[in-house]
Amino acid sequence: MQGTSNAPVDAEETTQRVASLYSQVLEIPEIGADDDFFVAGGTSLSALTLLDLVAAEFGVQVPVRTFYQATSVRDLAREVQLLAAKG
Partner 1 sequence: MLLSRPPFGPAPFTNADLLDSGFYARADLHAIWTHLRENEPAYYCDPGDGREPFWVLTRYADVTRVLREHESFSSRRGTMLCIIDLSMPDFASDDMMPDTDPPRHRRLREPLNRVLTPRMVAQHEPAIRDIVHDLLRPALDGEVFDFARAALMFPMAFTGMLMGVSPERWEHMSELTTMTIAYDDPDYSVGSSQATVRQAHHELFSVFRDEVNRRTQDDKGTDLIGILRRMSVDEDPLTEHQIMLNCYALLLGANVTTPHVISTMVAMMAEHPDQFRRVRDDPELRKSCVQEVLRWSSPASHFMRYAVRDVELHGRTIRADEPVSVWLGSANRDERVFRDPWTFDVARRGNRHVAFGSGPHYCIGAGLATLAVTAFLDHLVNLVDEVELAGEVRHLASNFVAGYKSMPVRMTASADALRSVPS
69 binds partner 1 (CB under 8 A): yes
Q: Using CB under 8 A as the criterion, what x/- string covers residues 6-45 for binding partner 1?
A: --------------------------------x----xxx
User: Which ranges of the chain would DSSP assign to H, the alpha helix?
Assistant: 11-26, 44-58, 64-68, 73-86
The count of C-alpha atoms lying within 13 angstroms of the C-alpha of 19, restricted to the half-sphere facing its C-beta, is 14
Minimal distance in Å, beta carbon 3 to partner 1?
25
Q: CA 40, CA 1: separation in Å to the nearest integer? A: 36
Helix (H, G, I), strand (E, B) or coil at 9: coil
Amino acid at 58: F
Of 1-9, 12-20, 65-73, 77-85: span binding partner 1 (CB under 8 A): 65-73
Give the footprint of partner 1 on this chain (CB under 8 A).
38, 43-45, 47-48, 64-65, 67-69, 71
